[in-house]
Amino acid sequence: NEGNEYFKEKDYRRAVVAYTEGLKKKCEDPELNAVLHTNRGAAEFYLGNYRSALNDAIQAKKLKPTHLKAIIRGALCHMELKNFSEAIAWCEEGLQIDSKEKKLVETRAKADKLKPEGTLLEVGADFSTHWWCRAVMGIDLLCERNIKLVLEPSNEEEELSDGLAEISLDGFHSDNVTGAKVHLDADGNLNWPVLFLYPEHEQTDFIAAFHESSRFIDHLMVMFAELPPWDLERKYLPNNIELYFEDEERAEMYKLNPEQTLLQVLQHKRYFVKAGTPTILAFVRHSPFSKKYFSGKKVHRL
């Protein structure tokens, strides 16, 4: 209620603080939590914090998949971030719930109009021609950034399969990362779908559009503004999390500096992007699990 009052007064910063305090209460009502995330996302949106607003929309949609306000907010965030393909996907999802929702219809039409032709690097898409015809689109962008992309034909006709390839790690996998693709925004920057894996709890997080110049610590601050429900020991705090990537060929690990940007990590000579989705492993610093996990493994520091 306090957040709503601040919102009405257009004091969006205080509204964000109030909704955050509400979320910290860990109410067991998923619908109320969905509203808190949606409202905080709206306040963040009016402050121009579109990535934070999008993360709130994603969380709200997880709690209540049919929450139209969250879906509309997510679509609008993608529009502001110039992620027009993602905006279209969110609109279509909402229109399946309410085909006459005016805001979604308008946003869908606007995204269609603004979506540039040929800016998607269609990795993991359903190709109607040979896989390499689409893969070479944007290859210059990757080369000039020194990013190494692993493309593997999936059958005799050398076509890539539908969706993103299954990503597995020590016996668990994520099968919910579908449809998101790396894309070029209007400013000439790449936005990547990024998967975070939490081996200790066999959990994942997915960021649909991680700007290449964004720092990891900035995303951690948003992702862990509230502790996830599976973190019963309350130890996944932004400054207590260590990030790594794995060099599968050499069976070695590389520890990231959270102050680094996504681009800095992707440019590392031993980082290979598979299935069009950069993958990052997250551990709690000095935890018994991480000590056991890294026992006997060679770890490099970036």
Query: Which residue among 114, 138, 170 closes a domain?
Result: 114
Q: What is the CATH number of the domain that holds 297?
A: 3.10.20.90
Q: Look at residue 26 and tell me if it is in a domain.
A: yes
Confidence (pTM)? 0.53
Q: Look at residue 166 and tell me if it is in a domain.
A: no
Q: How far apart are CA 225 and CA 23, in angstroms?
A: 9
Query: Which residue among 88, 114, 140 closes a domain?
Result: 114
Q: What share of the chain is helix, strand, coil (3-state, %, to 5)?
A: 40, 20, 40
In sequence order, the 6+-apart residues with CB closer than 8 A to the CB of 253 are 244, 245, 246, 247, 281, 294, 297, 298, 299, 300
Q: Look at residue 285 and tell me if it is in a domain.
A: yes
- At 253 the pLDDT is 94
- At 139 the pLDDT is 63
Nearest-10 Cα torsion for 150, 243, 247, 230: -80
For 129, the 3-state DSSP assignment is coil
Q: What is the CATH number of the domain that holds 82?
A: 1.25.40.10
Count the domains in the chain.
Answer: 2
- At 223 the pLDDT is 83
Q: Look at residue 178 and tell me if it is in a domain.
A: no
Q: Look at residue 160 and tell me if it is in a domain.
A: no
Orientation of helix 84-97 relative to helix 68-80, angle to 10°: 160
Q: Look at residue 266 and tell me if it is in a domain.
A: yes
- At 209 the pLDDT is 82
Query: Which residue among 114, 135, 161 closes a domain?
Result: 114
- At 82 the pLDDT is 85
Q: Look at residue 226 and tell me if it is in a domain.
A: yes
pLDDT along the chain (302 residues), means of 10: 93 91 91 94 89 91 93 93 88 91 90 64 38 46 81 42 33 41 77 90 85 89 82 91 91 93 94 89 94 91 85
Same domain, 198 and 102: no
Domain limits for position 28: 1-114
Q: Look at residue 187 and tell me if it is in a domain.
A: yes
